[in-house]
Amino acid sequence: MHKPNLLVLILIGIAWVMLIISFSSYWYYAGSKSSSDNYSFSYFKHDGVRTEWKFGDNSGSSFSSYSSAQKDAAKNELSLYRASLSFTVIAWIVLSATILFVVLSLFGILSKIPLLPTITKLLPIAGFVLCCLALFIFVGLPDARKRDCKRNGSDSFCDSQADDHKFDFVYHNDNYRQSPWLSWATIVVASAFCLGGAIVGVISGSY
């Protein structure tokens, strides 16, 4: 068994799992917290928002899909969520093919099929590029929210929102915080493992 190929399989396998986690998780969160007994946070993804709250002895959570009015009001923001998710799904498909081909190489089958060994070396690079596209598209969230604000409100209102850091990609203060959440974080991890798998595959892989 070729050890570099096995290492590629492990690295790409971890990235593959990370992408699965990102599918069902939330991309962004925002909310306020004054104490451990007094907080409210909203978690956003392409098809809805989950809200968790606690005010003294009262606590709970709920999920709601976006209404037609909300979809129209947040048109640019939701398009960005969908674009990032789409590249994530394509990256997962590419990594699935990579895993299959590397497994075949471990059993000595892949080398008997023309072109597939070369393609297998390139697939982790493609997966890495797709993950990076998903990440960097999502970095455009503040601009998408600002454009939605200007579509639906006055310039003065949007300027006041900007002054309050509502369009910052990451912002924390004593009582309020907003930043990317689990989906984005897992794709960062997946990108790192894809890059590792690509480097090992190109330098030492023998398919």
35: phi then psi, degrees, rounded to nearest 5: -165, 175
Closest CA to 42 of 73, 34, 33, 189: 33
DSSP 169: S
Return the percentage of the chain with pLDDT > 90, whole number: 87
User: Which residues neighbour 116 within 8 Å (Cβ) at sequence distance 6 or greater?
Assistant: 101, 104, 110, 207
Q: How confident is the model at residue 72 (pLDDT cuts 50, 70, 90)?
A: very high
Kindly report the pTM of this predicted structure.
0.92
Q: What is the pLDDT of residue 1?
A: 61
The H-assigned helical ranges of 24-154 are: 68-73, 75-106, 116-138, 141-152
Rounded (10°) angle between helices 75-106 and 141-152:
150
Distance CA(50)–CA(53), nearest Å, equals 10
User: Confidence class of residue 207 from pLDDT cuts 50, 70 and 90?
Assistant: confident
Q: What is the pLDDT of residues 138-160, one digit of tens each?
A: 999 999 999 999 999 888 999 99
The answer to whether 84 and 45 have CB atoms below 8 angstroms apart is: no
The answer for 56, left when phi > 0, alpha when psi is -120 to 50, beta otherwise, is left
Domain range annotation of the chain: 3-28+75-204
d(CA 97, CA 12): 10
First-residue to last-residue Cα distance in the chain: 11
Mean pLDDT in the chain? 95
**Residues 8-44: tens digit of each pLDDT:** 999 999 999 999 999 989 999 999 998 888 999 999 9
Describe the crossing of helices 116-138 and 75-106 by its angle, rounded to 10 degrees.
Answer: 160
The CA distance from 87 to 94, in Å, is 10
